[in-house]
Structure 1
Amino acid sequence: MRIGVVCEGVTDFIVIREFLGAALTKRNIAASIFSIQPPPDRTKGGGCTEVLNWLIRMPPKRRRDTFLRGGLFQSNDPKGDLDFLIIQMDSDVLSDDHFIRFVGKHGVVVSQCTSVADKSAETTRIIEAFSDLNILTQVDIDKHVFAAAVDAIESWCVAAYENRTHDPEALTGQDLYDAFGSVLARSLGREPADSYDSMNKKPKTRQRFCELRKNSNHLERQCTQFVKLLQDIT
């Protein structure tokens, strides 16, 4: 199985490749997972708007012919003949003023949500609006898989490290920063800090963490949005 991923950044792709790849392997499904956006040679991503800009630059028929039907890359690149195209975005953007203005210019109004399920549904709705799938056949529509990480994909990392008393996908803002910073430090054998003012986005560090935790059963037990992504693929 060949899967392409359109997501916000390099570390997001690493999480999807390692965790989803391991979960599929447990089910005896061999998968090659490729980064489409950001490009593999880019060390940094462009955030949520770059995901939507990619969909604008790559309208449905071009997307289908380039990636899903042995298009331009078929002769020398497996990314030209994908079985699935995952489009992923974090739900924390729903409250971001820049994001709200950006999608508003394209006729999409953002609804504010509080629950994990509602945030996931709203983020998925926005991705769908920019994907414009209605002109494709059902076969090609089914090759598109939308993944909304709530509040950010780092919640999957938190869940992969340990069983928690409360839903890791309900973590937001500073609570998510601190939870992710703590599990990352502990996984690397370091003493956690009292608080963190940002997410560690170093690709090598994220790769090391995910390799250590990719076979954890905690993730599927705790993160409904990861399970949804896995079920959509399987």
Structure 2
Amino acid sequence: MHAPIRTTTRHGRLRGLLAVACLAAVPALAQSSPVAAPPGPPSPVAQRAGSATSGDEALDNAVAAVVVAALAEQLDTASIEVSIDSFDVAISSLRDRRVSGQGRLRLGEDAEWIGFRYSTLYDTLFNSAGYPQLTIGGVAAGERLVPNDAVLVRQLEDRIAGELDRQFGVPTARLQFDDISTVEGGQRLLRITAEGVADFGRSGMTPVRIEALYDLVANAWRRVNYELGGTTR
């Protein structure tokens, strides 16, 4: 059996300007799992040629489209500029390819780039890519760990506890975090991750993991995802 084939290229740019009206609405506390998308028209992404490529133009375009669309959706923005700096391609199956890499994004008219990582599954039969997994912040040079903000952590606890109450009908759900970290996403975003347990009283406890993005300019949460026992919400 041969080792997985992998190709890596870097330092290219692909830009996208995306209208929010073209995006499908999703719940504020939800992120879809990666699934292969059916064939259809490409996302409305304005592209500019760059040197970063996997060597497969169809793959590059499909991956770029879903990455830009997902970033705009998760950051709830009408305008986003994206530079994909690398395409790392590995064989996942006879039909599928696992594509991952790094890139940068800018929100609206901001001059600052924010680093991100992405990973998606590309279907070679339909030339389509699934919904990507994204990690925003803590990627680009200069983005570092910073002290946790107690006020933001408390807001996050209250928000997730309220969502758990609505989802399970347990008004006494409590969160107990064992590990919390905050990392910069440029000068604008903070990515907060936390792990611990969700305590449902007599119903028991389950592991919980949270990843959230806070916008220091807008003073608002851009994205809040939580995972209970391995299931993302």
Fold match (TM-score > 0.5)? no
TM-score, normalised via structure 1 length: 0.24
Give the structure with the larger strand fraction: 2
* Greater radius of gyration (CA): 2
Give the structure with the larger helix fraction: 1
